[in-house]
Amino acid sequence: MALSQFLDIESACVILEIAHRFNAAQLKRLSFEYILSNFERIRTTTAFIELHRDCITEILSAAVQRINS
């Protein structure tokens, strides 16, 4: 959870991948929320472009669910 203090536009995707790899559910949820809230700025970062395919799929699924809610 200490990593959640460092969530920002540049680090969010890196922290999400770490949370994904280590099954850190709460950190992953916080990272998703941050990414979804700042998606317009994050989607153009190198970290987002290089993000693991599974993470991108989850982000896009969460975004669609949020739109449909």
pTM of the model as a whole: 0.85
The H or E element that residue 59 is part of is: helix 53-68
- Count other C-beta atoms under 10 Å from residue 22's C-beta: 10
16-38, pLDDT tens digit by residue? 999 999 999 999 999 999 999 99
19 CB-near residues (< 8 Å, 6+ apart): 3, 25, 27, 28, 31
- Quick one: pLDDT at residue 63? 84
The pLDDT, as a whole number, for residue 66 is 83
Query: According to CATH, what is the number of the domain 2-68?
Result: 1.25.40.420
d(CA 30, CA 24): 10
